[in-house]
Amino acid sequence: CHPLLLVVCFSQADEPVCRHRGDSENPQLSKNGDIILGGIFSLHSSWKTRQERYMHKPLPLQCTSLNFRDFQFAQAMLFAIEEINNSTDLLPGVSLGYKIYDSCGSIPRGVKVALALANGNEEVFVSSEEQCIQRAQVQTIMGETSSSPCMAIATVIGPFHLPLISHFATCACLSDKVKYPSFLRTIPSDYYQSRALAQLVRYFGWTWVGAVRTNDDYGNNGMATFIETAEQLGICLEYSVAVFRTDPPEKIRQIIDIIRDSTSKVIVAFVSHMDMDVLIHQLSYHNMTGYQWVGSEGWIFDSKTAAMDTHHILDGAIGLSIPEAYVSGMKEFMLDVKPLNSSGNELFTEFWEGLFNCKFNQSNLSVGNEKVCTGDEDITEIHNSFTDMSLMPIFNNVYKGVYAVAHALHNILGCNETCDSKRPLDPLRILQQIRQINFKTKEGDEVYFNENGDPAAKYEIINWQPTQNGIVDFVTVGLYDASLLADRQLILENKTLIWAQNSMQVPLSVCSEECPLGTRKVLQKGKPVCCYDCIRCAEGEFSNITDSITCERCPSEFWSNEKRDACVKKETEFLSYEEIMGSLLTGASLFGTCMTCLVACIFFRYRKTPIVRANNAELSFLLLFSLTLCFLCSLTFIGQPSQWSCMLRHTAFGITFVLCISCVLGKTIVVLMAFRATLPGSNVMKWFGPVQQRLSVVGFTLIQVLICILWLTISPPFAFKNFKQFNNKIIIECALGSAIGFWAVLGYIGLLALLCFVLAFLARKLPDNFNEAKFITFSMLIFCAVWITFIPAYVSSPGKFSVAVEIFAILASSFGLLICIFVPKCYIILLKPERNTKKNMMGKGPTKTT
């Protein structure tokens, strides 16, 4: 027996030797021929669900909802067969026959009729010698329309290499030639369509969409690929729901609720037209307009669906359709339904009654206000989905499929003028031939199958544009060609698009508005990546693109502006002459300089007077000179620091101050010595005469000069940009280079000042009518106080203030010295000249100098 036959063999000769299990099935449409082609179409689109208890034999499937679409597909197949039979070029002398079954869109029934096609289903009576030997009935099967039945059928007939050529099963899963080796199709795989839809959605900037799919292989696989591609393109799904036409009403209502509660305005529907019809009904009932629909080829170019949409739910829909096609003569052939009626079986009575909306046998009905069928109804007078030719591209697919088989047979039979019909035909050879076929139909369509048994993927993008009379016009607005480079696949022509609710504006469907410049995205917890908040960039950061994920840091010399969308150069800060603090300090320093000069002039003018002579005129002038330098050296601290000014300021300060203190120290020692010199028997003055005084001043100063030279050569101070202290400004300051150098200079000054203070302190009580030691003590006290308070203030003041503090300390200590040491003398010189006598100087105490 043939491997596909499920037979029970009997021994009695008169009984049928071979009998099928199950009931025999007769094709709904058939015609004899030399070679028979099978066809499986869903002439009904649904069936009654029954709970089987298996108490008795289950009844055959009860099909419902006559489906004129698949009648059209069957007609298209018949047209192609007749055209081939008429032709003298293709298969001359060979007649093609057909057997067409109705699968009702049911998978089990599809498998059953596929087996019937493969094996023949009539009861076979054979003589006892020739037992159950029967050849395969059909050479190829055309169909089915939907993906799920195709998968089942292809699984069953695949091992026997019986080709199955579908015109409308688009599931990408069917491209798997390991699972479905004998499956071929004339419609592109959803692998391309899902991607194209995702690109279309991205093109219009919809990143927040809902998804509805048919709950079968077509919808589930198509949607899975769509979601995968959409994620890559940055599109987020708010929800994804599955619907099937046999679902109970509660389930459909749940779906409606989900859609109503959603915030996305775009719905991507990967559904078949049968499921869309169910959905539209419910959507209309709930008055759910205003959604932008994006559709797969399953319903988007179905004029029946458009006609059902009386509430204009789907107006403005956009989606992919199979490119327009036209096959001459097909429309006329299809509408000529007379030959179909002649077959006279039950199905065609139903078909005829459905088509013309009449009844043949009125007596069976109690209420009969319907028309009575005459059998001579005129098809030109009716308009329904059977007379609608909008699915011509799919009819063309059926047509191409039949021609592919015919071309393959033509090659196998070696047809030239005649065909060698003796040659054996087996499905495997036919399958191999079909897969290699490459021809053009009479309309110029190229037909071939790639290694997956799929044709080239080309789609038209169509837009549902409502017209005045309420009928929707499917306007082609673009093309999608998967064979082109990625960026050129999707092309939208410059045509006006009409969107949901007749809007001319592209609808917006995003979860969050795009983040403006100067902000960055922060994802919302637990929500998809398309939902985010926009957070302003922090100070010192910027973002100059919209929808930025991060804020960039400005380079170190820059800082972000107020809007945070660019970086601006940081302002630099240093103590300048222009600003108030700088100019005040400059003024103070110049004032000090002038005052010192004035004092010097007074001393010079009165240089002959005892008070000047008594107070060691040489040291006094040197002290005044060094004080002038001290006041002036504070100016080096003001202005933008540079390499030279940084090196100059500390060393100049250190040296002039040491010069200054050494003069004071010299004065103090002189006072001490002078007192000792008056004691009997001592001649100390010769130990500390003018020469020694000069030498000591020079010596003390040289030590500081040496410290400064060491500092400058080993690690000199340098100008330096401080980015750390403040974020938004650069402080230009002098780095110390070596802190040890700085503190050594300062420490040496401190040491001398301390020594001076101690000596002056010792000398303060000595009898002297003009006790210089007292003033020196006082001035040193001020000096030390100023510099001791300087240290913590200097360390803790930021930026330019530390410089100001230093200048202040320099000025304060200089003024201290100037005022304490010189002002009392000037007072006597100018205002009390009567006290400026040698007698007065000598009178009270033995102050004596050269």
Question: Considering the complex, what minimum distance in angstroms separates the CB of residue 336 from ligand NAG?
Answer: 9
**C-alpha R_g of the chain:** 54
Q: Among candidates 86, 80, 99, which has minimal Cα distance to 35?
A: 99
Strand positions, DSSP E, 608-717 = none
Question: Considering the complex, what minimum distance in angstroms separates the CB of residue 381 from ligand NAG?
Answer: 23
Q: Which is nearer to ligand NAG, 334 or 731 (CB)?
A: 334
List, in order, residues 6 or more apart from 566 with CB less than 8 Å away: 542, 544, 560
Q: For ligand NAG, what does the binding mask look like between residues 628 and 667, x meaning CB under 6 A? A: ----------------------------------------
Contact set for ligand NAG, span 592-611 (CB under 6 A): none
Three-class secondary structure of residue 612 per DSSP: helix
Q: For ligand NAG, what does the binding mask look like between residues 794 and 833, x meaning CB under 6 A? A: ----------------------------------------
d(CA 660, CA 625): 8
| Number of other residues whose CB lies within 10 A of the CB of residue 95 | 13
Taking 3-state DSSP, the helix, strand and coil percentages for the chain, each rounded to the nearest 5, stand at 45, 15, 40
Strand positions, DSSP E, 76-222 = 96-102, 140-143, 164-166, 183-185, 208-214
Question: Considering the complex, what minimum distance in angstroms separates the CB of residue 402 from ligand NAG?
Answer: 12
Residue 593, amino acid: T
Question: Considering the complex, what minimum distance in angstroms separates the CB of residue 286 from ligand NAG?
Answer: 8
DSSP states along 438-456: EEE-TT--EEE--TTS---
For ligand NAG, how many residues bind (rule: CB under 6 A)? 10
Q: Which is nearer to ligand NAG, 280 or 599 (CB)?
A: 280
d(CA 632, CA 417): 121
Question: Considering the complex, what minimum distance in angstroms separates the CB of residue 469 from ligand NAG?
Answer: 21
Question: Considering the complex, what minimum distance in angstroms separates the CB of residue 333 from ligand NAG?
Answer: 6
Q: Which is nearer to ligand NAG, 122 or 336 (CB)?
A: 336
- Measured over the CA atoms of residue 762, residue 768, residue 772 and residue 777, the dihedral's sign is positive
Contact set for ligand NAG, span 331-350 (CB under 6 A): 333
Q: Which is nearer to ligand NAG, 50 or 442 (CB)?
A: 442
Question: Considering the complex, what minimum distance in angstroms separates the CB of residue 116 from ligand NAG?
Answer: 27
Q: Which is nearer to ligand NAG, 420 or 493 (CB)?
A: 420
Question: Considering the complex, what minimum distance in angstroms separates the CB of residue 399 from ligand NAG?
Answer: 11
Contact set for ligand NAG, span 219-238 (CB under 6 A): none
| Number of other residues whose CB lies within 10 A of the CB of residue 225 | 22
As a whole number of Å, the end-to-end CA separation of the chain is: 150
Given a contact cutoff of 8 angstroms between Cβ atoms, the answer to whether 40 and 117 are in contact is: yes
d(CA 279, CA 271): 10
Q: Which is nearer to ligand NAG, 79 or 480 (CB)?
A: 79
Q: Which is nearer to ligand NAG, 35 or 500 (CB)?
A: 500
Interface residue with ligand NAG among 5, 19, 82, 349 (CB under 6 A) is 82
Q: Which is nearer to ligand NAG, 400 or 649 (CB)?
A: 400
List, in order, residues 6 or more apart from 54 with CB less than 8 Å away: none
Question: Considering the complex, what minimum distance in angstroms separates the CB of residue 94 from ligand NAG?
Answer: 15
Q: For ligand NAG, what does the binding mask look like between residues 286 and 305, x meaning CB under 6 A? A: -x-x----------------
Q: Which is nearer to ligand NAG, 470 or 526 (CB)?
A: 470
Q: Which is nearer to ligand NAG, 83 or 238 (CB)?
A: 83
Question: Considering the complex, what minimum distance in angstroms separates the CB of residue 292 from ligand NAG?
Answer: 15
Please count the residues of the chain: 850
Q: Which residue stretch of 82-90, 270-278, 316-324, 688-696 sits at the interface with ligand NAG (rule: CB under 6 A)?
A: 82-90
d(CA 179, CA 158): 8
Question: Considering the complex, what minimum distance in angstroms separates the CB of residue 423 from ligand NAG?
Answer: 12
Q: Which residue stretch of 78-86, 113-121, 232-240, 441-449 sits at the interface with ligand NAG (rule: CB under 6 A)?
A: 78-86
d(CA 601, CA 625): 11
Cα 120–Cα 125–Cα 129 angle in degrees, nearest 5 = 115
Contact set for ligand NAG, span 252-291 (CB under 6 A): 287, 289
Q: Which residue stretch of 51-59, 77-85, 166-174, 716-724 sits at the interface with ligand NAG (rule: CB under 6 A)?
A: 77-85
Q: Which is nearer to ligand NAG, 95 or 263 (CB)?
A: 95
Q: Which residue stretch of 79-87, 611-619, 646-654, 669-677 sits at the interface with ligand NAG (rule: CB under 6 A)?
A: 79-87
Q: Which is nearer to ligand NAG, 62 or 95 (CB)?
A: 95
For residue 650, what is the enclosing H or E element?
Answer: helix 643-678
Q: Is 761 in the site for ligand NAG (CB under 6 A)?
A: no
Q: Which is nearer to ligand NAG, 329 or 375 (CB)?
A: 329
Interface residue with ligand NAG among 20, 38, 77, 83 (CB under 6 A) is 83
Q: Which is nearer to ligand NAG, 197 or 402 (CB)?
A: 402
Question: Considering the complex, what minimum distance in angstroms separates the CB of residue 357 from ligand NAG?
Answer: 28
Give the burial string for 739-757 (b: 16+ CB within 10 Å, else e).
eebbebbbebbbebbebbb
Question: Considering the complex, what minimum distance in angstroms separates the CB of residue 365 from ligand NAG?
Answer: 35
Question: Considering the complex, what minimum distance in angstroms separates the CB of residue 95 from ligand NAG?
Answer: 12
Question: Considering the complex, what minimum distance in angstroms separates the CB of residue 87 from ligand NAG?
Answer: 8
Given a contact cutoff of 8 angstroms between Cβ atoms, the answer to whether 213 and 488 are in contact is: no
The beta-carbon contacts of 128-131 under 8 Å, at least 24 apart in sequence, are 128/13, 128/17, 131/1, 131/9, 131/17, 131/18
Question: Considering the complex, what minimum distance in angstroms separates the CB of residue 168 from ligand NAG?
Answer: 22
Contact set for ligand NAG, span 374-433 (CB under 6 A): 414, 416
Q: Which is nearer to ligand NAG, 93 or 329 (CB)?
A: 329
Tokens of 94: 């060979």
Given a contact cutoff of 8 angstroms between Cβ atoms, the answer to whether 515 and 544 are in contact is: no
Q: Is 464 in the site for ligand NAG (CB under 6 A)?
A: no
The beta-carbon contacts of 806-810 under 8 Å, at least 24 apart in sequence, are 806/637, 807/575, 807/585, 807/589, 807/634, 807/637, 807/638, 808/585, 810/630, 810/633, 810/634, 810/637, 810/653, 810/657
Q: What is the dihedral of CA 28, 32, 34, 39, to 10 degrees?
A: -10
Interface residue with ligand NAG among 68, 79, 542, 657 (CB under 6 A) is 79
Q: Is 86 in the site for ligand NAG (CB under 6 A)?
A: yes
Q: Which is nearer to ligand NAG, 381 or 417 (CB)?
A: 417
**CA distances for 47 relative to 42, 44, 50, 349, 846, angstroms:** 11, 8, 9, 18, 139
Question: Considering the complex, what minimum distance in angstroms separates the CB of residue 79 from ligand NAG?
Answer: 6
Q: Which residue stretch of 76-84, 391-399, 723-731, 798-806 sits at the interface with ligand NAG (rule: CB under 6 A)?
A: 76-84
d(CA 269, CA 249): 19
Given a contact cutoff of 8 angstroms between Cβ atoms, the answer to whether 621 and 605 are in contact is: no
d(CA 721, CA 570): 11
Q: Which is nearer to ligand NAG, 329 or 368 (CB)?
A: 329
List, in order, residues 6 or more apart from 95 with CB less than 8 Å away: 33, 34, 35, 85
d(CA 754, CA 551): 57
Q: Which is nearer to ligand NAG, 95 or 642 (CB)?
A: 95
Q: Which residue stretch of 75-83, 221-229, 399-407, 751-759 sits at the interface with ligand NAG (rule: CB under 6 A)?
A: 75-83
Using CB under 6 A, list all residues that contact ligand NAG.
79, 82-83, 86, 287, 289, 329, 333, 414, 416
